[in-house]
Amino acid sequence: MNATKTKKFAMAYIVDRCVDCKACMVACKAEWQIPDNDFRTHIDTGIAPAATDRLSMHFLPHQCNHCDDAPCVTVCPTKASHKREDGVVDIDNRKCVGCRYCIPSCPYNARFFNNELGVADKCTFCLPRIYDGLMPACVTTCPGKARVFGDINDPESEISKALKDAADNRYRVWTLRKDLGTEPNIYYIQK
Q: By CB under 8 A, what part of segment 19-48 binds another protein?
A: 19-23, 25-27, 29-31, 33, 35-39, 42, 44-48
127 touching another protein, by CB under 8 A: no
d(CA 108, CA 142): 21
Q: Which is nearer to another protein, 78 or 167 (CB)?
A: 78
Q: What is the residue-wise DSSP string for 85-103? A: TTS-EEE-TTT-----THH
141 contributes a contact to another protein by CB under 8 A: yes
**Residue 169 engages another protein in binding (rule: CB under 8 A):** no
The reply on whether position 125 binds another protein by CB under 8 A is no
Stretch that binds another protein, among 83-91, 149-157, 162-170, 178-186 (CB under 8 A): 178-186
Type of residue numbered 22: K
CB of 176 to another protein, least distance (A): 6
Q: Counting contacts by CB under 8 A, is residue 51 touching another protein?
A: yes
Q: Taking the alpha carbons of 63, 122, 140, 150 in that order, is the dihedral positive or negative?
A: positive
| Segment contacting another protein by CB under 8 A, of 5-13, 109-117, 150-158, 159-167 | 109-117
- Residues 88 and 81: their CA atoms lie apart, in Å, by 10
Asked if 143 interacts with another protein (CB under 8 A), we say yes
Query: For residues 162 and 148, is the Cβ–Cβ distance under 8 A?
Result: yes
Q: Are 173 and 166 in contact (CB under 8 A)?
A: yes
Of the pair 32, 153, the CB lying nearest another protein is at: 32
- Minimum gap (Å) between residue 181 Cβ and another protein: 8
Number of residues that bind another protein (CB under 8 A): 84
Tell me if 69 contacts another protein by CB under 8 A.
no
Q: Interface with another protein includes 89 (CB under 8 A)?
A: no
Q: Where are the alpha helices (DSSP H) in the chain?
A: 23-32, 71-75, 102-105, 137-141, 158-168
For 10, residues 6+ apart whose C-beta sits below 8 A from its C-beta are 66, 87, 149, 150, 151, 152, 159, 185, 186, 187
